[in-house]
Structure 1
Amino acid sequence: MFLSLFFCLAFIANVKVGRCQPNSIFLLAGQSNMSGRGGNHNDTNNIVGWDGQIPPECASNTNILRLNANKTWVLAHEPLHQDIDYLKTCGIGPGLPFANEILSKVPTFGSIGLVPCAIGGTRIVQWDRGTVLYNQLVDRANAALDGGGKIRALLWFQGESDTSDYDSNLYKGRLETFINNLRQDLNISNLPVIMVAICSADQGPFMNRIRSIQLNYPFNDTYVKTVDAMGSTFLADQKHLDTKSQIRVGQKLAAAFLSSFDGLHPH
């Protein structure tokens, strides 16, 4: 009984103990619509805040953990990226809806570990091998594996910042290189990648070019799937998905994982 109490108190205190290691690990990377802005609003002083509203699809679950900024597994809660994308006001993102949907569809799936790595406003060149963001992604991925578990997929939601530059015609090659480098550096040659095709209303003139690249992936890579964010609704800025659409995207990501990557058979 004393040991059980110890582990319970350790979990509450965010102490990393062996029994808190999740079985299935998912990396979350990209820019602001991955880190989440659902529920954000501007107050009378034009300061961005989060409304604090957490729908059931985004609720905490003892079987869903997150790797915090200190690389410690803690109970996942919204805003999921609050200590990672810390220069911005984070709100609801697709991560918790994704994990909750998996557990809803497959109750025997086991524990899920989410590894937030997304940073708002980033272009794909900022995710090149050797950059701060790329190195942080690899470092956090390796830290997540300390103690066991398996990385099941990378969830990728990025591209809005590449829509206003003619350089967008290089997006395809950069995306392929990013995925290949990550697989090589994590030593997971068949790492599944589930990306979101962007659709924000207020973006640059090359948004359709980026969307086309994302929708027409995998370029013969059967371990890459794309879900479409088209049909989403937005905050007043017409760039960031609102809570309703973040939930929808998270559930789409979960459906893609369960249907394509052996998600119905937990490891």
Structure 2
Amino acid sequence: MAGYAKSQASDKVTNSRILVLGYDNNAALGRVKDQWSVACPPLHAAWLDAIGPGDWFAKTLIEKVPSGDTIGLVPCAISGEKIETFMKSGGSKYNWIVNRAKIAQQSGGVIDGIIFLQGESNNGDTSWPGKVKTLVNDLKTDLQLGDVPFIAGELLYSSSCAGHNKLVNQLPSQIKNCYVVSASGLVVDPSDTYWKLHFSHDSQVILGKRFAEKMIQALGW
């Protein structure tokens, strides 16, 4: 998830131990595509200036990381895309994800887990869980990840896609070491008056923390 709600000053307080692999060239942040820099929103497209779950995921997770270690985020979301866009067979962005992940590995990074929130564009598609399974298995194989935790997030309960959460919650039965993060109590961004699908700023903060808590649990930290 790239995010929609605008980032706030509190989100831009950085931690030198949290890095992000540049999603694009962002002159305002001095960020360069496919190069590491200190993480600060937006983690995804510069023009969005949005906060996503990755921001507070990392800020929460860093409290459990040994003092000499860092967290490297490799953002790979594209707004509005179906799962098919990211798949190895027929998708246009699978190699892009793999190449970015390999940059992280080749620079000394170890991929400990994957967080994922997608589904609005596949709302109600009963083949979606199987496609997610295929994508995850292909990534784990091609990047030699083993069974690292894969954590999926639910969609907003108040949105027209709320019914898709039944499919989101099927993922742990199909994917090894898979967990689901609840969207209970989270709300739509007030500026999203058309789609009514996007999480509010504060909900993104909570969502990121929930992803982190689940990852901490999955890693046994």
Q: Taking structure 1 as the reference length, what is the TM-score of the superposition?
A: 0.72
Q: Which residue of 1 aligns with 2:204?
A: 246
Q: Note the C-alpha offset of 1:98.
A: 0.5
Identity of aligned residues (%): 30
Q: Which residue of 2 aligns with 1:226?
A: 180
Q: Which residue of 2 aligns with 1:36?
A: 3
Matches within 5 A, 1:44-123: 53-55=8-10, 59-68=13-22, 69=24, 70-83=33-46, 89-106=48-65, 108=67, 110-123=69-82
- CA contact 2:3–2:51 (8 Å) conserved in 1: yes
Q: Which residue of 2 aligns with 1:43?
A: none
- CA contact 1:59–1:96 (8 Å) conserved in 2: no
Q: Once the two structures are superposed, what CA deviation does each residue of 1:119-178 show, in whole Å capped at 9, x if it has no partner?
A: 000111111115222111111000111121200111101001111xx6x01112111111
Q: Which residue of 2 aligns with 1:197?
A: 154
Cα distance in 2 for partners of 1:240, 1:90 equals: 14
Q: Once the two structures are superposed, what CA deviation does each residue of 1:70-115 show, in whole Å capped at 9, x if it has no partner?
A: 21111111111124xx5xx241111110111112345637200001
Q: Which residue of 2 aligns with 1:175?
A: 132
Task: Give 1 or 2 for the bigger CA radius of gyration.
Answer: 1
In structure 2, the residue corresponding to 1:218 is in which secondary structure? helix
- CA contact 1:200–1:239 (8 Å) conserved in 2: no
Q: Once the two structures are superposed, what CA deviation does each residue of 1:10-38 show, in whole Å capped at 9, x if it has no partner?
A: xxxxxxxxxxxxxxxxxxxxxxxx21112
Q: Note the C-alpha offset of 1:220.
A: 5.7
Q: Any stretches of 5+ residues in structure 2 without a counterpart?
A: 25-32
Q: Once the two structures are superposed, what CA deviation does each residue of 1:166-206 show, in whole Å capped at 9, x if it has no partner?
A: 6x0111211111111111111223132111011253325xx
Q: Once the two structures are superposed, what CA deviation does each residue of 1:201-244 show, in whole Å capped at 9, x if it has no partner?
A: 3325xx41x21121232116441111011321111322111110
Aligned residues: 207
Could you say if the C-alpha distance between residues 109 and 214 of structure 1 is closer, same or farther in structure 2, counting changes exceeding 3 Å?
farther
More strand by share: 1
1:149 matched to 2:96? The reply is no
Cα distance in 2 for partners of 1:181, 1:144 equals: 18
Could you say if the C-alpha distance between residues 98 and 106 of structure 1 is closer, same or farther in structure 2, counting changes exceeding 3 Å?
same
Cα distance in 1 for partners of 2:92, 2:9 equals: 31
Could you say if the C-alpha distance between residues 106 and 148 of structure 1 is closer, same or farther in structure 2, counting changes exceeding 3 Å?
closer
Could you say if the C-alpha distance between residues 221 and 171 of structure 1 is closer, same or farther in structure 2, counting changes exceeding 3 Å?
closer
Partner AA of 1:154 in structure 2:
I
- CA contact 1:124–1:171 (8 Å) conserved in 2: yes
Q: Any stretches of 5+ residues in structure 1 without a counterpart?
A: 1-33, 40-51
Could you say if the C-alpha distance between residues 200 and 134 of structure 1 is closer, same or farther in structure 2, counting changes exceeding 3 Å?
farther
